[in-house]
Amino acid sequence: MKILHHPRIVNLIEVIDDPDSDHFYMVLEYVEGGGIFRESGPPGGIGQATAQLYFRDTVEGLVYLHKKNVVHGDIKPENLLVTSEGRIKIGDFSISQMFESGNDLMQRSPGTPVFTAPECCTGSQYHGKIADIWALGVTLYCMVFGCYPFIDDTLQDLYDKILHKELSLPDLSNHRLAHLLERLLCKDPKMRISLEEVARHPWFLEDLGHKPV
For residue 67, what is the domain's CATH number? 1.10.510.10
Q: Which of 18, 22, 74, 207 is the catalytic position?
A: 74
**Of 122, 120, 125, 156, whose CA–CA distance to 138 is shortest?**
120
Residue 164 phi, psi (nearest 5): -125, -25
Q: Do 71 and 105 contact (CB within 8 A), yes or no? A: no
Domain presence at residue 171: yes
Q: Has 160 been annotated as catalytic?
A: no
Q: Do 125 and 36 contact (CB within 8 A), yes or no? A: no
Q: pLDDT by residue (tens digit) across 43-98?
A: 889 999 999 999 999 999 999 999 999 999 999 999 999 999 999 999 998 888 88
Q: Which domain holds residue 79?
A: 33-205
Domain presence at residue 158: yes
Number of domains in the chain: 1
Domain presence at residue 94: yes
Q: pLDDT by residue (tens digit) across 154-174?
A: 999 999 999 999 999 987 789
Which residues are registered as beta bridge partners of 82?
88
